[in-house]
A and B are shown apart, each in its own frame.
Chain A
Amino acid sequence: MAEETYPINLWINEERLEKLQQAGLAGMCKEVLAGLKVLAVPNTAEQRDTILKIFPMAKFDTATTKSIELLPKAVKDKIFDLVVKKKSLSVMDEFIKTQTK
């Protein structure tokens, strides 16, 4: 059984898409919801719980989408920049480190 991942959905607007294309990462986004593009950054259960603790305004949508939602845009921008920098979606450990220092 595949392990559950609890994504943070980074929704892709034109500005973000351009950055991804420049880094050659446009293929990383998925199309969901009638063509809407998203970069789903996976979290383990432990990372999810840490994120929810650091950012109390965030919400884990247990009922329908099973994703971490409502992180402030500035926080998501930082995660997005990390993905572009590392050219990888496995960025949450590093991101959490920058937040807990």
Chain B
Amino acid sequence: MENIGHGGKEIVERVLPKDAALKRLNELKAAKAKVLDVRLQIATEVIDIAYGFFSPLEGFMTKADVEGVCNNMTLADGKTVWSIPIVFDISDDELKKSGIKQYDEILLTYTGNPFAIFDVTDIFTLDKKEIAMKVYGTTEDKHPGVKRTYQYQDKFLGGKITLINPPKINEPFTRFWLTPKQMREKFKEKGWEMIINHQTRNVPHTGHEWLMKGAYLGAYGSMMVDKPRGGILVNAIIGSKRDGDYIDEAIILCQEAQGKYGYFREDTFLTTCSLWDMRYAGPREAVFHACLRTNLGCTHHMFGRDHAGVGSYYDPYDAHRIFNTLPKGSLNITPIFNLDWWFCPVCDEVTYMGLCGHKDKKASFSGTMIRSIIQDGVKPPRRIFRPEVFDLIMECAEKYGFGDAFVTEDYLKRRNPVFTIEPL
């Protein structure tokens, strides 16, 4: 068996070829199947499920799955590690109005066009507060993941998903969109045996660059250096935005620029994207990222300080410690834990907490500080921020951000969608 994903299961694409899709669509129409139009949040996860990004999930979770996730951090089988609920919500009203019953096969549409078939095998309710506490460690709706949980409607549908109409990925994201199977093909093509994933939803500064280079050197270990046998996959998370985020276009293009301008050799560097709405679940999100990147075919995954955290809900290294609590062999990816890095004026370079002995002279910088520098109209020094990346941010602001490199209401309203579902 090839293409083994998370949980030791083969990655299976649940996507019908066009002929079969049209036939099934006509059958559903003839049978007067119920139709639900889904919002972007759900459409995104339908795509993720169908292409195996969430393998071994084949559909939206049943109640037993959600309970397993909350109580034991596993799916309903009690073995497969899973940390974040993946659910399909529906209001009581809509459920009644549509007349959807258990074991119905329903047609999902997105922006009015046929999209996927949903085999509903479970209809249930959930205690949202309990989920919030168990997954996010808090019930405060200030936490974006908790807020999303509270915003769910009151009923949930579980069951398998089959995509009948693949998304059209729009520019500039097209070349960055690789499904798990395509990703694995690409790695084979590149001759990579070791693939280190760098999780990001940011434009890169040299602190990020340093961490990636450090991880590469560390993981490369004793492999022969006769040809590139490994590389770094920057897998940018494209999804729901928060105030202060860089616009998606800037994130993906600036990440790619690190290879394009030689800060990484192009044969050891690849930029792709995954569609995912960050939940900011800190340690639990770190585990989810590990599962997701296992499915992409990665062998290693970097976890930084306060990985996928928000505010001060998690200790900066909680997202490292959680991996020690998982049963041995439950993940097929090796975590690489990173400490802090900073600019040291004595070493005169970006360096690392575990190496530099001038801690009292360190100059810390963060993504927030870089943003503040950019907002002041100042070009940071190249040792802190690559000039090509800076120029590209400015270009993206004009081209995609309506004058701003950061998310504004205007951008959210007028931006070109990342994907569209066209008529089948």
Question: A residues touching B (Cβ–Cβ < 8 Å)?
Answer: 9-13, 32-36, 57, 59, 61-65, 67, 69-73, 76
**Nearest A residue to B406 by beta-carbon distance?**
A70
B343 pairs with A64, CB closer than 8 A: no
B369 pairs with A61, CB closer than 8 A: yes
> Is B312 located at the chain interface by the 8 A CB criterion?
yes
Question: Smallest CB–CB gap between B311 and chain A, Å?
Answer: 9
Contact of B381 among A9, A36, A62, A69 (CB under 8 A): A36
Give Cα A59 to B372, complex, Å: 10
B372 pairs with A34, CB closer than 8 A: no
> Is B306 located at the chain interface by the 8 A CB criterion?
yes
A70 pairs with B378, CB closer than 8 A: no
B366 pairs with A65, CB closer than 8 A: yes
Contact of B383 among A9, A34, A61, A70 (CB under 8 A): A34
29 contacts between A and B (CB under 8 A): A9-B372, A10-B376, A11-B376, A11-B378, A32-B363, A33-B381, A33-B383, A34-B343, A34-B381, A34-B382, A35-B381, A36-B378, A36-B381, A57-B243, A61-B369, A63-B306, A63-B366, A64-B364, A64-B366, A69-B368, A69-B369, A69-B372, A70-B368, A70-B372, A70-B375, A72-B375, A73-B375, A73-B376, A76-B376
Question: B residues touching A (Cβ–Cβ < 8 Å)?
Answer: 243-244, 305-306, 312, 316, 340, 343, 348, 363-366, 368-369, 371-373, 375-384
Contact of B377 among A9, A65, A73 (CB under 8 A): A73
| Chain A at the B interface: SS class | loop
| Chain B at the A interface: SS class | loop
B364 pairs with A65, CB closer than 8 A: yes
Q: Most chain-A Cβ atoms within 10 A of its Cβ — which of B305, B316, B348, B364?
A: B364
Question: Smallest CB–CB gap between A85 and chain B, Å?
Answer: 19
**Nearest B residue to A10 by beta-carbon distance?**
B376
B306 pairs with A67, CB closer than 8 A: no
**Nearest A residue to B350 by beta-carbon distance?**
A34
Question: Smallest CB–CB gap between A41 and chain B, Å?
Answer: 13
Question: Smallest CB–CB gap between A28 and chain B, Å?
Answer: 16
Question: Smallest CB–CB gap between A100 and chain B, Å?
Answer: 23
Contact residues in A for B312 (Cβ distance below 8 Å)? 62
Give Cα A36 to B381, complex, Å: 6
Give Cα A65 to B404, complex, Å: 24
Give Cα A32 to B343, complex, Å: 9
B381 pairs with A67, CB closer than 8 A: no
Q: Most chain-B Cβ atoms within 10 A of its Cβ — which of A10, A35, A62, A64?
A: A64
**Nearest B residue to A15 by beta-carbon distance?**
B377
**Nearest B residue to A70 by beta-carbon distance?**
B372
Contact residues in A for B378 (Cβ distance below 8 Å)? 11-13, 36
A64 pairs with B365, CB closer than 8 A: yes
A36 pairs with B369, CB closer than 8 A: no
Contact residues in B for A69 (Cβ distance below 8 Å)? 368-369, 371-372
Contact of B244 among A11, A59, A64 (CB under 8 A): A59
Contact residues in A for B363 (Cβ distance below 8 Å)? 32-33
A65 pairs with B368, CB closer than 8 A: yes
Contact residues in B for A72 (Cβ distance below 8 Å)? 375
Contact residues in B for A59 (Cβ distance below 8 Å)? 244, 368
Q: Most chain-A Cβ atoms within 10 A of its Cβ — which of B306, B363, B380?
A: B363
Known: A36-B380, A73-B375. A9 touches B343 (CB 8 A): no
A11 pairs with B372, CB closer than 8 A: yes
A34 pairs with B369, CB closer than 8 A: no
Give Cα A95 to B72, complex, Å: 53
Contact residues in A for B384 (Cβ distance below 8 Å)? 33-34, 36
A61 pairs with B366, CB closer than 8 A: yes
Contact residues in B for A13 (Cβ distance below 8 Å)? 376-379
**Nearest B residue to A9 by beta-carbon distance?**
B372
Q: Most chain-A Cβ atoms within 10 A of its Cβ — which of B365, B366, B369, B384?
A: B369
Contact residues in A for B243 (Cβ distance below 8 Å)? 57
Contact of A65 among B365, B379, B381, B383 (CB under 8 A): B365
Give Cα A29 to B96, complex, Å: 66
Contact residues in A for B364 (Cβ distance below 8 Å)? 64-65
Give Cα A99 to B384, complex, Å: 34
Question: Smallest CB–CB gap between B23 and chain A, Å?
Answer: 53
Q: Most chain-A Cβ atoms within 10 A of its Cβ — which of B244, B371, B378, B379?
A: B378
Question: Smallest CB–CB gap between A95 and chain B, Å?
Answer: 17
Contact residues in B for A35 (Cβ distance below 8 Å)? 381
Question: Smallest CB–CB gap between A36 and chain B, Å?
Answer: 5
Give Cα A34 to B347, complex, Å: 11
Give Cα A76 to B377, complex, Å: 11
